[in-house]
Amino acid sequence: MGEQHERLAAAGLTAGGTVALRLPPSLGYVAALLAGWQLGAQVALLDYRLTEHEVQAALARLAPQVLVRADRTGPGSLRGFSEAQPVVVPLPDGRPAATPHAVVQLSSGSTGPSKVIGRTAADLLRELDCYRRLPEFPAAGERVVLLSSTVHVLGLVGGLLHSLHTQAPLTVPERMTAAGILAAVAADDRPTTVIGVPFHAELLAGVQAPPPLPQLRRMVVAGELLRPDVPPAFAQRYGVPLGTMYGMTELGVIATDLSGRHHPSVEPVHGMELRERDGELHIRVAASPYLGDTAPDRWSDGWLHTRDAGRVDQVTGLVTVLGRRDSQVSVGGLKVDLTEVEQTLAALPGVREAVVLFADGAIEAFLCTEAQDAGTEADVLERIGERLAAYKRPRSTAFLPALPRTATGKLLRDATALHAAAAAHPAPAAR
């Protein structure tokens, strides 16, 4: 960390300054993060998987004084960590921090309708205290195998910072395959908790004959809703519970069911007050977590509007999360704003209009282009890869001569109608 401290200071970073990190999971990332805080700077976290276009747009919004990037491309999709070294780049147009927040993140990872979210040091310490109070969460003498990205709130606070705070050793698997994860668990005899997203739990639950893992205490997942069949399948395979957590970038952990006793419900952590209003979950928060103007439908009168559908049991206090009420969805545990994706696609050369849906865990795009030919479509698909990170890209893209509209002329967002229109207009043959 000392070396990164010197490099950041040499680039002009001081207390009250701003630095953005775009680094893959690595020791260099941890060192740069801690060094930035040690200098008293505000640290913005950018997902290393963002495209250059998305990074430049994010930098324009955040205006950091220093950018720390990797000296090489990030790890492949199956690699758990990278050997990349941080490269410190001063940004002459950057601005010092305008708020006291210690960490800044973008709600969906880049531009468009995403919100800029700030967390103070006091709020991070509050969240760490919530984790410390959970008897099932890893403590001193135990260890963590972390599958979640340390760029995002679960991996950052629940994984990295909690492990540092409690001195519970943290391991990132060399490869994010089922075999790689199980090997990481087996590599140490201390009681072990695995932290990841539902995709990881599904991956491990699908292993037909896992090796004996007496050190495995439990697995904990967050980021999206679990399929009902996954917890019992996981428990049957490994003989330990699959715990769940509900949280947000704005607040970190909100409610948990680490034992699996209440699934699909979760219990609010220490100090969290939740209510249900018109089917939406609200959380009491003294101040808005958003930097800049805050729309009243996101925070008002001391309540954060989560835009998550849910129920609060008035007798037990348990919370049941039913899914998103707005355009933000979760793909593999990573937040994606469908409005951002739609606006990006509609802005591409040759695209007249676009509709983006999310169904069965996948993003689907329906586009109307200026020319109906294979060359135009190939060009659009290539540009999508340049403008959107891999986890934001549509899994399927249909090209239509015109998108269906309602009687009042609005674009129709009914999946059945859009799929029928796509089936009636197959892709043109390549020329």
pLDDT of residue 179: 96
**Does residue 193 contact residue 217 with C-beta atoms inside 8 Å?**
yes
Q: Do domains 121-326 and 331-424 have the same CATH topology?
A: no
pLDDT of residue 374: 77
Query: How many CB atoms lie under 10 A from the CB of residue 19?
Result: 26
Q: What are phi and psi of 308, to 5 degrees?
A: -100, 135
Query: 35, exposed or middle or buried, with CB in 10 Å at 0-12, 13-18, 19+?
Result: buried
Amino acid in the structure at residue 302: G
**Does residue 325 contact residue 308 with C-beta atoms inside 8 Å?**
yes
Domain boundaries, the chain: 2-114, 121-326, 331-424
Strands in 177-268 per DSSP E: 192-196, 216-221, 242-248, 252-257, 265-268
pLDDT per residue of the chain (431 residues) written in tens, 0 to 9: 789 999 999 999 999 999 999 999 999 999 999 999 999 999 999 988 888 998 999 999 999 999 999 987 666 667 788 888 999 999 999 999 999 999 999 875 333 356 899 999 999 999 999 999 999 999 999 999 999 999 999 999 999 999 999 999 999 999 999 999 999 999 999 999 999 999 899 999 999 999 999 999 999 999 888 888 899 999 999 999 999 999 999 999 999 999 999 999 999 999 999 999 999 999 999 999 999 876 788 899 999 999 898 999 999 999 999 887 777 788 888 888 888 898 899 889 989 889 999 988 899 999 999 877 778 899 999 999 999 999 999 999 999 999 988 654 568 888 889 999 999 987 654 43
Displacement of CA 257 from its chain's centroid (Å): 20
**Does residue 20 contact residue 68 with C-beta atoms inside 8 Å?**
yes
Q: What are phi and psi of 20, to 5 degrees?
A: -110, 135
pLDDT of residue 226: 86
Closest CA to 244 of 219, 227, 268: 219
3-state helix, strand, coil in the chain (%, to 5): 30, 30, 45
* Distance from C-alpha of 170 to C-alpha of 138, rounded to nearest angstrom: 10
Q: Spell out the long-range contacts of 82-87 with Cβ–Cβ below 8 A and sequence spacing 24 or more.
A: 82/24, 82/25, 82/26, 83/26, 84/23, 84/24, 84/26, 84/28, 85/28, 86/4, 86/7, 86/23, 86/28, 86/29, 86/31, 86/32
Residue 57, classed as helix, strand or coil, is helix
Closest CA to 90 of 16, 40, 34, 17: 17
Structure tokens at 38: 């040690």
Structure tokens at 426: 């197959």
pLDDT of residue 333: 84
Kindly give the pairing relationship between strand 242-248 and strand 362-369.
unpaired
pLDDT of residue 118: 96
* Distance from C-alpha of 374 to C-alpha of 384, rounded to nearest angstrom: 15
Question: 121-326 has which fold?
Answer: Rossmann fold (3.40.50)
pLDDT of residue 76: 66
- Report CA-CA distances (Å) from 351 to 342, 362, 400: 11, 21, 11
pLDDT of residue 74: 64
Domain 2-114 annotated CATH 3.40.50.980:
yes
The secondary element (H helix, E strand) that includes residue 328 is strand 328-331
Residue bearing tokens 């549509």: 394
Correct CATH for 331-424 of 3.30.300.30, 3.40.190.10, 3.30.2350.10, 3.40.50.1980: 3.30.300.30
* Distance from C-alpha of 232 to C-alpha of 241, rounded to nearest angstrom: 8
Q: What are phi and psi of 137, to 5 degrees?
A: -85, 150
**Does residue 243 contact residue 196 with C-beta atoms inside 8 Å?**
no
Query: How many CB atoms lie under 10 A from the CB of residue 2?
Result: 9
pTM: 0.84
* Distance from C-alpha of 240 to C-alpha of 145, rounded to nearest angstrom: 15
